[in-house]
A and B are shown apart, each in its own frame.
Chain A
Amino acid sequence: MAFQFEPSVVIDTLPMLMRGVWYTIYLTVGGLFFGFLLGVATGLMKLARPFLVRKLADLYVELVRGTPMLVQAMFLYYGVPMAVGLRIPPLIAGVIVIAINSGAYIAEIVRGAIQSINVGQTEAGRSIGLTRAQTMRYIIWPQAFKRMIPPLGNQFIISLKDTSLLMVIGVGELLRTGQEIVAVNFRAFEVYMAVAMVYLVMTMSISKALKILENRLINKTSGKRA
């Protein structure tokens, strides 16, 4: 039997994917929200003075960066409950995995952006009597944040796509929803094409949103490059 592409199946599949889309959005937004907080905290810890604080941040980043996210997800969902006797709902586990994972990469983005700001800015801030924290808040962070936007966009897109891995712990996100549809209609070509299209629309939305944010911040300082 020759393969016959059915465009109508792609169209019909799209609404059926909506439930999965919501899960994927939930995982991405929730995971990145906590991931961003974790990343900023860890990035600042990496720049802190106490040795132990820096090492702690390094250890976290190394552990996460050095292991596959798929393994982290399975360890958290299947492994950890065996040790603590407490089962985490798949969706919560998924958000945690995305947060922990993106947090490590965002930490590096934050650290790099802050370190890229000329040391003269810190000196100027301290020379007018600002504390370290005030200098960070009013002088370094606003400038560094602008530089973080492009790499953050990258990370947001990676994390969005990584949510598809969470199907292995039973989260009914976009890819898993597609897989379930295929199990019924066997139209793998059309269904996974529809799934891919939905991912593409979501990643392109992130790119666009961050581009708008970046332009706004740039316009605020009248054409100042980051």
Chain B
Amino acid sequence: MIEIKNLHKKFGDLEVLKGVNLTVASGEVVCIIGPSGSGKSTVLRCINRLETPTAGTVIVDGHDIMDPRTDINYVRTEAGMVFQQFNLFPHMSVLDNVILGPLKVRRMPRAEAEHLGYDLLAKVGLGSKAQAYPEQLSGGQKQRVAIARALALQPKVILFDEPTSALDPELVGEVLEVMKKLAAEGMTMIVVTHEMGFAREVADRVIFIDEGVIQEVNSPKEFFSNPENPRLRDFLGKIVGK
């Protein structure tokens, strides 16, 4: 589904990614953890080319995102994204947020798009909020709308960029529940997160990124109970210590 080879990314003189290699299979849930500034969000943002890689290749469902012939807007409909800050469109109702993509990108008729929108909002538990505006929602509700918006294009993979990091603690659960449901349905997911419980329970593989390279890839069980990499041991020690 996704193939990342020797991915490099520089911001000016700062080399954030120094050769990342990662393959994600269809239906797989991969969690990426790592200290802040380690480059984990950058990897995610290179997959749908919100950041342009400096070097390396990224193949999404057979499309090389660096190939000038690739229609990046199409690739982005295949790889939905959920942001830490939700980034809902504040001037549109919840329903319009969800169906904007289907309407304008897929050119779906409005009635059909609205039908899809209501279904997706029901799926994330917000069927009654379709006509509300984002500012009337809690953080957890906003993030669930953002997930519905990403799902509206029927993507093959969803990239989650710290989806619960901006939420009040009591709202984290409702978002993770929706994500677990998606994982159970077989959605391919790449999740940058600090939620170790989620990673342990849902992920097929957990990846530790530090200093711009993948330091460890392992099953959640091995990853948390028997980490090999000394940096990872150190990192987990600090988190568990909290």
- Which residues of A pack against B, CB within 8 Å? 118, 120-121, 123-131, 134, 138-139, 142-143, 146, 220-224
B83 and A134: CB pair below 8 A? no
CA distance A118 to B134 in the complex (A): 15
In the bound complex, residues from chain A placing their C-beta under 8 Å from that of B48 are: 127
CB–CB A126/B50 < 8 A: yes
Minimum CB–CB distance from A143 to chain B (whole Å) comes to 5
Give bound CA distance, A126 to B90, whole Å. 16
Option from B50, B74, B85, B136 in Cβ contact (under 8 Å) with A127: B50
Q: What would be 15 A-B contacts, judged by CB atoms less than 8 Å apart?
A: A118-B85, A118-B87, A120-B83, A124-B88, A128-B101, A128-B150, A129-B73, A129-B74, A130-B100, A134-B104, A139-B89, A220-B91, A221-B91, A221-B135, A222-B135
B220 interfacial by beta-carbon distance below 8 Å: no
**Chain A residues closer than 8 Å to B80, beta-carbon distance:** 127-128
Minimum Cβ distance to chain A for residue B147 (Å):
12
* A222: chain B residues within 8 A (beta carbon): 133, 135-136
| Complex Cα gap A24–B237 (Å) | 74
In the complex, what residues of A have CB within 8 A of residue B91's CB? 142-143, 146, 220-221, 224
Contacts of A221 in B (CB 8 A): 90-91, 133, 135
B153 interface residue (CB < 8 Å to A): yes
Q: Which residues of B contact A (CB under 8 A)?
A: 48, 50, 73-74, 76-77, 80-81, 83, 85, 87-91, 100-101, 104-105, 133, 135-136, 146, 149-150, 152-153
Q: Across the interface, which residues of A come within 8 angstroms of B77, CB to CB? A: 128-129
Beta-carbon contact of B149 and A128 below 8 Å:
yes
Cα–Cα distance between A164 and B93 once the two chains are bound (Å): 45
Contact flag A127-B81 (CB < 8 Å), given A121-B89, A221-B90: yes
CA distance A127 to B115 in the complex (A): 22
Considering the chains assembled together, what is the distance between the CA atoms of A7 and B112 in angstroms?
68
B132 and chain A: residue at smallest CB distance:
A222
Other A-B pairs beyond A128-B150, A224-B133, 8, CB < 8 Å: A124-B83, A124-B88, A127-B50, A127-B80, A128-B101, A130-B104, A130-B105, A131-B73
Quick one: closest B residue to A139, CB to CB?
Answer: B89
Question: Whole-angstrom distance from the CB of B233 to the nearest CB of chain A?
Answer: 34
* Residue of B whose beta carbon sits closest to that of A141: B91
Q: How far is it, in angstroms, between the C-alpha of A125 and the C-alpha of B105 when the chains are bound?
A: 11
CB neighbours (8 Å) of B149 from chain A are: 124, 128
* Chain B positions within 8 Å of A131 at CB level: 73
- B36 to A: closest C-beta gap in Å: 18
Contact A143–B87 (Cβ < 8 Å): no
- How far in angstroms is the closest Cβ of chain B from A19? 43
B77 closest partner in A (C-beta): A129
Q: Are B85 and A120 in contact (CB under 8 A)?
A: yes
**CB-nearest residue of chain B to A225:** B135
How close is B99's CB to chain A, nearest CB, in angstroms?
Answer: 10
Instruction: Kindly state the separation between the CA atoms of A52 and B165 in the bound complex, as whole angstroms.
Output: 41
With A124-B87, A127-B48, A128-B153 as known contacts, state yes or no: A138 contacts B135, CB within 8 Å. Answer: no
Q: Which residues does chain B contribute within 8 Å of A126, judged by CB atoms?
A: 50, 73, 76
Given contacts A120-B83, A123-B50, contact A128 B76 (CB under 8 A): yes
Question: B50, A128: Cβ atoms under 8 Å?
Answer: no
Q: CA of A220 to CA of B91 in the docked complex: distance in angstroms?
A: 8
* Residues from chain A with Cβ under 8 Å of B104 in the complex: 130, 134, 138
Chain A positions within 8 Å of B105 at CB level: 128-130, 134
Residues of A within 8 A of B89 (CB): 121, 124-125, 139, 143
In the complex, the answer to whether B135 meets A223 with C-beta atoms within 8 Å is yes
B124 to chain A, nearest CB (A): 16
The distance in angstroms between the C-alpha atoms of A127 and B105, with both chains bound, is: 11
Q: Which residues of A contact B152 (CB under 8 A)?
A: 128
Assembly CA distance A224 to B133 (angstroms)? 9
The answer to whether A129 touches B133 (Cβ under 8 A) is no
The 5 closest A-B pairs by CB, nearest first: A124-B87, A128-B101, A129-B77, A120-B87, A129-B105
CB neighbours of A127 from chain B (8 A): 48, 50, 76, 80-81, 83, 150
